[in-house]
């Protein structure tokens, strides 16, 4: 009889962490996973919390900031995951996201465990100089915790290529030589990968042919609606149009546009580059972000924020295929409703894994100092995504479970197998 409390440990407790554990426990139950492994995997292996001083541009003002880095699992290789800057970042959120990264990497077969980090600060209120000081001091605080063979950060909410460049520079100054492989998502001038920016969106749409084929939907001319026109949504739109789909609706924070005959995607991208958002674009009818989700379309790609498809609107979604490009865009209740309606949902852990896959390529290229062409990167990305999709679909058909459960079974099983053969030390 197990005497320890098998629930989420108190130190990491937060609504998001509880949800990540609950999702894992459900899958573990379906798989009949070894009890000892189950117990081990709901607790992050390492969690570092730091506080550090941050001098504002007003020299007399020095704040104390909280920073975090959590490594969920060191079994699979180094750990990998983003760093976010936001005013509500906390240990529970970062730990939940680190666990999800473990599953995502294992689903696509990358040799990483999951990690995540963050600083509790509103990046929008910071000048460029302040951003740089926060980043360099945070890096100094976690410097012994990260490294090309230990833990490799990447951008996430509120951080970008420039933030990664400062982390790489700070780490390299301490090492005494350049260490580009310590982060991914760097500018190409520092050993960043070409095609990283497009990777997640490209990866999402690379699954359209196989997914559409599975539900007997012809994808040539299929109507696609995309919520979010940022890094992910824009390249998903461009990719979908290039493969012969008709992108009938797109949106961003300023609202959406709908044209049943199809929108000119490249023109939309140029408009956003020049003006910042989609507002004022001359073609198409205006729709709200909520309306976009319910438009008549064959393929829906939520690529903006989480929890946009809920039990309130799920029964009005008309798409037959939903690709989760954003993290967690469909709530658990809505997922059940969509399934009952017969929609085929490709879950985030699989659909948006193109980003971390090209990050993996970047790390490999940095370690070898040998850089691949864009064509090689795109071809290898397609190959990995398509193999992962086929494997997840096979599990889903064999076990008669939905794609989300199947994807998690694949990820958790890979991790469990590795843990069992490595054994317990000492």
Residues found near ligand NAD in the complex (CB under 6 A): 200, 227-233, 251-253, 289, 303-305, 325-327, 352, 355
How far is the C-alpha of 71 from the C-alpha of 258, rounded, in Å? Answer: 43
Which residue lies nearer to ligand NAD by CB, 39 or 161? Answer: 161
| Residue 85: strand pairing partners | 119
Q: Please, what is the minimum distance in Å from the beta carbon of residue 117 to ligand NAD?
A: 15
Q: Which candidate, 2, 100, 88, 99, places its Cα nearest to that of 45?
A: 99
Instruction: Check if 116 is active-site.
Output: yes
CB 258 within 8 A of CB 249: yes
Q: Please, what is the minimum distance in Å from the beta carbon of residue 409 to ligand NAD?
A: 21
How far is the C-alpha of 210 from the C-alpha of 28, rounded, in Å? Answer: 27
Distance set, CA 8 to CA 4, 12, 13, 232, 356 (Å): 11, 7, 6, 32, 27
Count Cα atoms within 13 angstroms, Cβ side, for 195.
Answer: 22
Which residue lies nearer to ligand NAD by CB, 71 or 352? Answer: 352
In the block, tokens 């979908």 appear at 240
How far is the C-alpha of 315 from the C-alpha of 24, rounded, in Å? Answer: 26
Q: Please, what is the minimum distance in Å from the beta carbon of residue 57 to ligand NAD?
A: 25
Q: Which residue number is nearest to ligand NAD in terms of Cβ?
A: 230
Catalytic residue chosen out of the listed positions 104, 116, 186, 419: 116
CB 70 within 8 A of CB 91: yes
**Which DSSP string corresponds to 268-325?**
HHHHHHHHSSSTT-SSSEEE-HHHHHTSS-SEEEE-S-SS-B-TTTGGG---SEEE--
Which residue lies nearer to ligand NAD by CB, 310 or 327? Answer: 327
Q: Please, what is the minimum distance in Å from the beta carbon of residue 266 to ligand NAD?
A: 16
* The pairing of beta strand 321-323 with beta strand 299-302: parallel
Q: Which of helix, strand or coil describes residue 47? A: strand
The tokens describing 197, both together, are: 């920016």
| Helical (H) or strand (E) element with 84 | strand 79-86
Q: Please, what is the minimum distance in Å from the beta carbon of residue 234 to ligand NAD?
A: 7
Which residue lies nearer to ligand NAD by CB, 67 or 228? Answer: 228
Q: Please, what is the minimum distance in Å from the beta carbon of residue 323 to ligand NAD?
A: 11
Cis peptide before 426 (omega within 30 of 0): yes
Q: Please, what is the minimum distance in Å from the beta carbon of residue 355 to ligand NAD?
A: 3
User: Backbone phi, then psi, for 3, in 5-degree steps?
Assistant: -95, -20
Which residue lies nearer to ligand NAD by CB, 137 or 227? Answer: 227
Which residue lies nearer to ligand NAD by CB, 141 or 200? Answer: 200
Which residue lies nearer to ligand NAD by CB, 33 or 351? Answer: 351
CA angle 71, 168, 121 (to 5 degrees): 65
Which residue lies nearer to ligand NAD by CB, 269 or 418? Answer: 269
CA angle 236, 238, 243 (to 5 degrees): 95
Q: Please, what is the minimum distance in Å from the beta carbon of residue 206 to ligand NAD?
A: 14
State the DSSP code for 147. Answer: B
Active site members: 116
């Amino acid at each position: 009889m197990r005497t320890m409390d098998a629930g989420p440990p108190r130190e990491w407790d937060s609504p998001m962490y509880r949800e990540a554990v609950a999702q894992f426990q459900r899958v573990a139950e379906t798989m009949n996973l070894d009890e000892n492994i189950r117990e081990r995997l709901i607790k992050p292996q390492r969690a570092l919390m730091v506080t550090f001083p941050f001098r504002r541009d007003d020299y007399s003002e020095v704040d104390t900031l909280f920073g975090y880095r959590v490594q969920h699992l060191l079994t699979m290789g180094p750990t990998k995951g983003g760093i976010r800057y936001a005013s509500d970042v906390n240990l529970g959120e970062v730990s939940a996201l680190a666990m999800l990264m473990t599953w995502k990497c294992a689903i696509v077969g990358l040799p990483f465990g999951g990690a995540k980090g963050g600083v509790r600060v509103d990046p929008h209120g910071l000048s460029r100089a302040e951003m740089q000081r926060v980043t360099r001091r945070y890096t100094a605080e976690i410097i012994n915790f990260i490294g090309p063979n230990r833990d490799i950060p990447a951008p996430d909410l509120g951080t970008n290529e420039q933030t990664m460049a400062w982390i790489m520079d700070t780490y390299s100054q301490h090492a005494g030589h350049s260490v580009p492989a310590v982060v991914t998502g760097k500018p190409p001038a520092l050993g960043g990968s070409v095609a990283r920016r497009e990777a997640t969106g490209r990866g999402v749409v690379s699954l359209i042919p196989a997914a559409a084929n599975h539900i007997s939907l012809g994808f040539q001319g299929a109507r696609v609606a995309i919520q979010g026109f940022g890094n992910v949504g824009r390249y998903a739109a461009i990719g979908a149009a290039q493969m012969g789909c008709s992108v009938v609706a797109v949106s961003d924070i300023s609202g959406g546009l709908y044209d049943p005959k199809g929108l000119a995607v490249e023109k939309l991208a140029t408009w956003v580059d020049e003006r910042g958002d989609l507002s004022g674009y001359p073609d198409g009818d205006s729709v709200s972000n909520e309306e976009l989700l319910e438009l008549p379309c064959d393929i829906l790609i939520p690529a903006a924020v989480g929890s946009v498809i809920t039990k309130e609107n799920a029964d009005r979604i008309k798409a037959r295929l939903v690709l989760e490009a954003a993290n967690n865009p469909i709530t658990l209740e809505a997922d059940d409703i969509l399934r009952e309606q017969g929609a085929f949902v490709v879950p985030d852990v699989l659909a948006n894994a193109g980003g971390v896959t090209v990050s993996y390529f970047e790390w490999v290229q940095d370690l070898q100092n040998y850089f691949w062409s864009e064509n090689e990167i795109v071809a290898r990305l397609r190959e990995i995504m398509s193999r992962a999709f086929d494997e997840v679909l096979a599990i889903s058909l064999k076990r008669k479970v939905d794609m989300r459960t199947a994807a998690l079974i694949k990820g958790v099983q890979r991790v469990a197998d590795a843990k069992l053969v490595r054994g317990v030390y000492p």
